[in-house]
Every structure is written in C-alpha cells, then in structure tokens.
Amino acid sequence: MQILEKIKTTFELQSAHENILKLRNSSYKERITKIKSILNYVLDESNHQIIAGALYKDLRKPNEEVITTEITPIILNIKEVVRNLKQWVKDEHVPSPATMLGMSSYIKYESKGNILIISPWNYPFQLTIYPLIYAIASGNAVIIKPSEIATETSKLICNMMQELFSENEVAVIEGGQEASTELLKLPFNHIHFTGSPRVGKIVMEAAAKNLSGITLELGGKSPVIVDGTTNIKTTAQKVAWAKAMNCGQTCIAPDFALVQKEHLTAFYSEFISALEKFYNPENQGIENAAEYGRIVNERNFERVKALLDDAIEKGAKVLFGGNLNKEQRFMEPTLLSNITMDMKLMQEEIFGPILPVITFDKNSDVIDLLQKMPSPLALYIMSKKQKTIDYFLDNTVAGGTCINELMLTAVNPSLPFGGVNNSGLGKTGGKHSFMDFSNQRGVVKHHMGNSLKLVYPPFNKKIFKYFKKIVRL
C-alpha cells in the first residue's frame, strides 16, 4: 500500500499544471545545467567506484566493461546534448505553399509533459540514464522505474536521483511487478520502455488505454552473416567479443551466426581461439576470468540453460564451452553446430553466451531463412564484397546494421537507434531522442490581410478557376 501511495503522490506532484509549464518553459541553459550535474556525478571517482561496485554485484561486470559500456555512452550523449541543445530547441521555420500568401509556418518543439522510463537489468545504469538525459533536455518531468532484478543498481539510481534532482523533476519508484502495473495505469504523456518483446506488448497495451506516446526498445534474434571474402580471424574475434560481453546479455549481441560453408571450419577454430585468448590466456579456466560476467539471476540462468538443453536433445553439437555452475550463475561461452530451426534457441532471443552457427551455400539461402523470422534489432554483415553487402542490405529489414563491425549501431548519437516491428517502436539517439520526448507543434502565423476570404462562401467561379491554376488541379 505504501508503494501505491508513493506512486500516486509522485505522479500528481509531477503532473501539476504549474510544474509541467515551469519545466516546459525552462531555458536550454537551465536544462544543460541539470544534465551536467549527471556528468559531474559519473565523473566523480568515488561515485564511479559506487557505480562499478553495484554493477559487479548485479552482473559481475569488470570495471573496464563498466567504463566502456555503462559510463562512456552516457558521457558521449551528454556531450552531444550540451553541444546541440541550443539549436534543437529553436523554432524550425518551414516553407509555406503559395495558397498561404502572407503567412509563415514553423515547428515549435515543446515538452510532452510527464515521462515514464522503465529500464532493463542488462545495462541497468546506462539504459536508465541515457533516456533520462534526453527527457530532461526536452523539458519533461520524469519517473524512473529501474529493474528490480538489478537490485544494487536500482538502489544506486534511487540515491543518485535524490541527490541530483527534486521529486517534481525526477523521481524513482523501486519495486517489482506491482509497481510497474500501477505505473502503467497512469496517463503519462510518454512511456519509454527497454526490455523484451513479450513485456513490450504488455506495456504497449497499457499505454493504449491512456493513448500515451510510447518508445519500445526491444530485442530479437540479431544475425551475423559471414561470407567467404571477409577476414575470418578478425571476424571471429569480433563475434566472440560481442557474444561474450556481459555474458551475452546484450540486446544487440549477435544471436546466431550464418557462415558460408567452405569457411566454417576456419570460423570455428578462430572463434574458439579468440575466446581462449580473451578469457583464458593463462589456462586458469574461463570461470576464473575476472573479465567474464555472470547471468543476472537464477531464473534467467535456468531459462538459458533450458535453451541449451533443448538444442542438445535435438541434435546440436557443443564445439566449445557448455560448462555451467548454477551456484555462481556461470555459463561458459558456448559454440553450437548442427542447428535446426525447431530448436527453441532459434525461436526466441537467447540473451546468453550461446552462439548457434548455421551454414549457407548461396546468399539467397540467407535471405530465405531471415524472411521467415521477425525483423531483428541489429543485423551484421561481414563481407569485403560491396555487391554482397548491398544484396543483404536491400533484401533484409533491421533496426540497424553494422558492416564488418558489431555492436556499434547504438554508439553514434547522430544515428537513429531502435528496432522495427517485433524489435521495437520509435528511434532514439541524439536529436532523435530529443524529438522522441518532444511534441512537434505545427504553427501557422498570418502576417497581413485575409487572403482566405477569397474562398469563403458564396463561392466565386472565377476565383476558383484561378485557385485551381495555383494548385495545378
């Protein structure tokens, strides 16, 4: 009951008309000051240690991975906002047709009002702060619902927001499903959700009841296509890195690999070699590697294990890995061959350190397979042949694509990031995020006379003859 009361009072506080107007009419300088407070917080060494400690407890993330995947993206996006917000908030003047003689038109960017951010557990710090930056930049009030699965990071975010913001600006609601359910009943102006397609459908259904705007950053089965022209050693290293990072719990991680048949053996060899080099250079076992993380909790461990068990039962062969330690939530990076489409790991997002490999002869075989699957959040093309690259780009649909690289679709704030269909709704990143959290109000201003009276009834045939010439009907 206490949590329900907190949700109610916080929402009412932030939704008060005076509060919404105050934030909406705040200057870009005021917003930048708030955003810079986040930057100063993460750059403070003592705070960095707290952040790293929380993420280690939740996911056993090494400090270096915290720096590269949790802290650096926040810094880059804050710098993007600081550099561009003055321009983004300006009215955007647009042309007016000849029929609007004596008038001007422009787009006014204004805050949507009150925002709900529901963040995930896999990158629980970055994927909470990242949308928050842009929600503030757009002049909104924000309620954050961090994932209850990443308990330590959730506490950290709560303490951080209390230190940096008043509750009428940014507030945190901790809790499990009950808290999420109650929040989704409220008429937020916009909901930003990051998570699975299954939960995304629930969020979208709830948003529809209040006609709330919505951004869904989901996932899906992101393939990596490896053809015969690419450098197999370099490619295998990149795939191994992307798959094992955060123990495979990354929405844009390569979910499965499609490898041209004649290069399959080389890919297997180089992939295994890369994993050993990354996580077992002194032959102490990957389980003892400080650089390798863990599955977030027992429930998710059992889910991924069930996918592996099902694949093996249906004929998959373990070429590397497969070792498990339930008590430590350790799952070794695992390479699988002899994959069939009836295996559960080919029917749902793995979200763990398992890489199924499927072979192909012709490029058209790849397209035939991918067309039967939902559109992924990311698609990776590893090829040196431009004709092949263009073929895969032209015949697939994905939220984003990297060519001869992996995982970087979310790094450049100048690019739109987000899914398509099953993998998401809406685009974020840089100005795309600012637009996502803003209402683009179209404004027409009349400067002189009343040219429209010419089309008032009763209608004059001569005038309408002239009008038709203008619009070329």
Which contiguous run of DSSP H or E holds residue 86? helix 72-88
- Backbone dihedral angles phi then psi of residue 206, each to the nearest 5 degrees: -65, -40
Q: Which residues are designated catalytic?
A: 217, 251
Each residue of 199-223: pLDDT tens digit? 999 999 999 999 999 999 999 999 9
CB atoms inside a 10 Å sphere around CB 300 = 19
Whole-structure pTM value: 0.94
Tell me which residue of 252, 322, 240 sits closest to 287, measured CA to CA. Answer: 322
For the chain, give the mean pLDDT.
Answer: 95
Q: Label residue 1 by pLDDT band (50, 70, 90).
A: low
Provide the pLDDT confidence category of residue 363 given band limits of 50, 70 and 90. very high
Residue 49 has pLDDT above 90, yes or no: yes
Nearest Cα residue to 69 out of 118, 130, 113? 130
User: Domain coordinates of the chain in residue numbers?
Assistant: 2-218+424-440, 223-418
Element (H, E) at 380: strand 378-382
pLDDT tens by residue, 115-126: 999 999 999 999
**Could you write out the DSSP letters of every residue in 300-366?**
HHHHHHHHHHHHHHTT-EEEE---EETTTTEE--EEEES--TTSGGGTS---SSEEEEEEESSHHHH
Interatomic CA distance for residues 145 and 226, integer angstroms = 39
Cis amide leading into 458 (omega within 30): yes
| Model pLDDT, residue 285 | 95
Sheet holding 354-360, edge to edge: 317-320, 334-337, 354-360, 256-260, 223-226, 378-382, 400-403
Contact 147, 124 (CB under 8 A): yes
**Tens digits of per-residue pLDDT, 138-182?**
999 999 999 999 999 999 999 999 999 999 999 999 999 999 999
Same fold, 2-218+424-440 and 223-418: no
Superfamily the domain 223-418 falls into: Aldehyde Dehydrogenase; Chain A, domain 2 (3.40.309.10)
Per-residue model confidence as pLDDT tens digits over 426-446: 999 999 999 999 999 999 998
So what's the architecture of 2-218+424-440 in CATH? Answer: 3-Layer(aba) Sandwich (3.40)
| Cβ–Cβ under 8 Å, residues 14 and 114 | yes
Residue that the structure tokens 């959040």 belong to: 377
Mean pLDDT of 55-74: 96
